[in-house]
Chains A and B, each alone.
Chain A
Amino acid sequence: MIVKQLSVFLENKSGRLARVTEILGENNINIRALSIADTTDFGILRLIVNKPNEAYKLLKEEQFMVSLTDVIAVEVPDRPGGLAGVLKILEPYNINIEYLYAFMEKSSNNALVVFRVEDLEKAIKILTDNGVKVLTGNEVYSL
């Protein structure tokens, strides 16, 4: 149930983000989810795409600093308090969430949220035990 996320280092100068999306577009790679964390000097672009290994190779060839990071994709009820409910489940277990961000698309009536946590296996077990759906990689890539 682990999803591969692309993490790309970008300097804060114009055209770099555009270049990444261009490369992916030209190669028919679809972006499923995206977030950017930035400082004054640089940013880290995080992407969920339908073909992560291929995208990784392409960006690498273009000299981007890119890595594949293991994350999980979690279904969250698309209503007020939906995300809070999921976070509450994890709270007692000391699961440290490094960051999270939402997918653009929904799966059925639920929102999809990417979680980056330290102990993936533990988080997956807690969530599924509590009736929260964690998507498999293939489910995410074929959305």
Chain B
Amino acid sequence: MFRNREEIKEIQLHRLKELVKRVYERVPFYRQKLDAIGFTPDKLKSLEDLRHLPFTTKQDLRDNYPFGLFAVSLEEIIRIHASSGTTGKPTVVGYTKNDIDLWSELMARSMRNAGVTSRDIIHNAYGYGLFTGGLGFHYGAEKLGATVVPVSGGNSKRQLMLMEDFGATVLTCTPSYALHLAEEMEEQGISRDRLKLRLGIFGAEPWSEELRAKIEEKLKIKAIDVYGLSEILGPGVAMECQEQKGLHINEDHFLPEIIDPDTGEVLPYGEKGELVITTLTKEGIPLLRYRTRDITALYPEPCACGNVLIRMDRVTGRSDDMLIIRGVNVFPSQIETVLLSLGYTEPHYMIVVDKKGALDQLEVWVELSEQFFSDEVKKLEQWEKKVEGELFTVLGINAKVRLVEPRSIPRSEGKAKRIWDRRELK
């Protein structure tokens, strides 16, 4: 590993120069953007020059759906992953053979740094599929030489049985699912002594120190925070070490900046703002200054664990109004689109997120409008079902629709008022 930050900066600059050259030559989207500001790759002399380069947004990925931002031909792409987008079309990413190797390598590095060894048995309950969580951990665990149990999500009873029978020592899943498993154990009267668990690596949704304390107490494990997003890589962008004081970013591959989300200005270390990442080495879909919309801060000071990789805070919020519900990205605009498509001219709605046990529940309160009113209960219930069906198609998760009276939802105070996240209170 790196001995000091100078070493890291040196490698970052070298890779950044290569990257800018590569995207300029291979991705028409970036060539246009750079030409527009008169920037040619040879003008990049220092890491500070990065701030003159344009941002990339989720909208850019959407506009170039599905493969428009790929820097290599599909022949070289060996894997596709995707996450939900705001318009029903997902955000698509492609990995070359080298990208997959890098991903495995970085996951293994981060997991090792978090205390996982080749002797561990990893119960991987992240979802396998288009979502990057399951496969990201899977490849990392294999690379590390640990034993991975690719159980994926669902059927908690069976999960507990397998954890006990196989002697799992590490649990990987979303924090809410970890809590759900802990509660399921209590309910079934399964004694903690029957499990060999010692560590958990949890992410893919925002969580709090309070929830960490709860999980650690109930499962009697050390709970490690992991950060990632499919646009950049998936899990493996950053992970905590055993100190649990910030997540070490794999910054030799992912160059982080913190910006003011309103002005785009780069903020100094320690200040809270939006995390922006430049993928230094990715081949399939390299991104310049990708705006993650996640709010955090960076700390370059040395960590007690000895690792000199920069640390970021636990993500404390978003600079947009995206919600993460059961690991799925949900935007209010998606719900608005559905209501408009169903004939609402000016939909008034409220998104209510709550927890039922450990699992997220999504309710959408919709003001009833004249044209859908009926004196028959049956017809109103059919209407609710219809909206629920459309929401499921677009969001990919179940939402319960509740019809409410006209003018009962607060007006015109911005989008934030459309969200009532009651999970934070619990």
Q: Which residues of A contact B (CB under 8 A)?
A: 5, 7, 9-11, 16, 37-39, 41-42, 44, 46, 63-65, 67, 69, 98-99, 116
Contacts and interface: CB of A to CB of B under 8 A. Distances in A.
Contacts of A116: 375
A10 B408 CA distance: 11
A10 B404 CA distance: 8
B380 to A, nearest CB: 7
B376 A11 contact: no
A41 B402 contact: yes
Contacts of B376: 37, 44, 98-99
A63 B380 contact: no
Interface residues of B, number: 16
A62 B381 CA distance: 25
A16 B370 CA distance: 19
B375 A42 contact: no
Contacts of A99: 376
B375 A10 contact: no
Contacts of A37: 376-377
Q: What 5 pairs across the A-B complex have the smallest Cβ distances?
A: A7-B375, A63-B407, A69-B375, A37-B377, A41-B402
A2 to B, nearest CB: 14
Contacts of B370: 65, 67
A42 B404 CA distance: 8
Nearest to A8: B375
B406 interface: yes
Contacts of A42: 380, 402-404
B381 A9 contact: no
A65 B380 contact: no
Contacts of B407: 63
B209 interface: no
Nearest to B370: A65
A41 B402 CA distance: 7
B373 interface: yes
A69 B404 CA distance: 20
Given A9-B403, A10-B405, A67-B373, 16 more contacts: A5-B375, A7-B375, A9-B368, A9-B373, A9-B405, A11-B408, A38-B377, A39-B377, A42-B403, A44-B376, A46-B375, A63-B405, A63-B406, A64-B406, A67-B370, A67-B375
